[in-house]
Amino acid sequence: MDQILTDVNTEFAQYRLFVCKKEKKFVHADMLDVHFDGKCPSDGTDLEEVQDPRQTKCPRCGKELEIEEIKPLATADTSAE
């Protein structure tokens, strides 16, 4: 019996941060979106992926970024067990 398995998880996303050099702005995009083509949505130029946000400066003013990490909320209350 032949069996075909397909991934139907459409809620999974892999967002990355990019810089649009021409517009001088950050763009976040889902890498797994079928419509993502690596182009800036406003002007169609190539996007440059941000490898390390801690080493990246603002594309518009050139200042260092202030980065704040937010920890995810706990998914289960362990005290109720």
Mean pLDDT of 26-51: 93
Quick one: which of 42, 38, 41, 46 has its CA closest to 21?
46
Q: What is the C-alpha to C-alpha distance for residues 19 and 56, in angstroms, rounded to an integer? A: 10
Dump pLDDT digits (tens) for 15-37: 999 999 999 999 999 988 889 99
- The pLDDT, as a whole number, for residue 44 is 94
pLDDT of residue 47: 96
CA dist 44 and 74 (Å) reads: 40
